[in-house]
Amino acid sequence: MTRTRGWATTWTVLRLAMAAVTVAAIVAQLTKSVGTAIELGRDVTTTIANFFSFFTILSNASAAIVLAWIALWYLFRGRRRETDAEPRGLAVALACVSTYMIITGIVYNTLLRNIELPQGSEPIPWSNEVLHLIGPIFLLLDVLLGPLRRALPWRSLWAVVAFPIVWVVYTMIRGALVTNPVSGDPFWYPYPFLNPNNPGGWPSVVIYVIGIALAIVAVGAFVVWCGRRRGALAGAPDDAGDAASVPSSVVSD
């Protein structure tokens, strides 16, 4: 069923819908955060910068862009065969955001869901669920059930892990330089397990970073493996060269 033209079209519409809902959730939460900052006299610029420093927000925003991108590519690609593979850059971007969203779902629902937040920082319930549960589940389903992806080479994992590395470095450097607009502490970290001022200090932070890094590599490998496995079952060659497309017999009307 997942290889039929009808399924590909249906999933394309679902991708667009998920992208729209994700954008709505981000905008709603940002609007609330800025409104609360203004109401309580907090620094608005810092509040906005902090908002876009959360891995969750960056992952969801990236996912919305890539989902819309691949959906529009499918809808407006003209008279190409239904089995033509998406551009390699788009395929790598999809693998990246899939990994980040799945990690977001795992980390939030195992480490952060029951963390009590400072008063005035509570998320909007529906937005919170979209960003931390519905979105990650959709991207996981996209890996397993979405239209057949380009079979990427294993070296694509380097692209998958690049952004989280940059984000961690940015977070740890910026965290010590920013005053928390809520508590007034001379530091701000988006997640408690990255805060070296909490009990456990730097050793605890390092352990968490290593654990999450291993999880990102594992999930990224799973995402790439799924694409390669589904491509192999459909008779698609590995993407070792330029174009890798599936024989036209794979997709039926």
* pLDDT tens per residue across span 173-225: 999 999 999 889 999 999 999 999 999 999 999 999 999 999 999 999 999 99
User: How many CA atoms within 13 Å lie on the side-chain side of 218?
Assistant: 9
Q: Is the pLDDT of residue 114 over 50?
A: yes
Average pLDDT over residues 129-141: 97
d(CA 133, CA 245): 33
Q: How confident is residue 5, by pLDDT bands cut at 50, 70 and 90?
A: confident
CA-wise closest residue to 163 among 61, 33, 245 = 61
Can you give the pLDDT at residue 76?
83
Cβ contact 230:148 at 8 Å? yes
* Percentage of residues in the chain having pLDDT higher than 90: 70
Can you give the pLDDT at residue 111?
87
Q: How confident is residue 248, by pLDDT bands cut at 50, 70 and 90?
A: very low
- Which comes out higher in pLDDT, residue 86 or 136? 136
d(CA 215, CA 113): 18
d(CA 110, CA 114): 9
One-letter amino acid at 21 equals: V
Per DSSP, 249 falls in state: G
What is the tens place of the pLDDT at every residue in 8-47? 889 999 999 999 999 999 999 999 999 999 999 999 999 9
28: tokens are 């709603």
CA-wise closest residue to 190 among 136, 203, 182 = 182
What is the tens place of the pLDDT at every residue in 137-158? 999 999 999 887 788 999 999 9
Question: Over the chain, what is the mean pLDDT?
Answer: 86
Cβ contact 204:111 at 8 Å? no
Residue 169 φ then ψ, to 5°: -60, -45
Cβ count near 89 (within 10 Å): 10
Can you give the pLDDT at residue 209?
95
181-208 in b/e form (b: 16+ CB < 10 A) is: bbeeeeebbbbebbbbeeeeeeebbeeb
Cβ count near 45 (within 10 Å): 10
pTM score: 0.88
Count each helix (H run) and each strand (E run) in the chain, helices first.
8, 0
Q: Is the pLDDT of residue 68 over 80?
A: yes
CA-wise closest residue to 199 among 207, 215, 170 = 207
d(CA 121, CA 37): 9
d(CA 220, CA 239): 17
Q: CA 152: distance to chain centroid?
A: 18
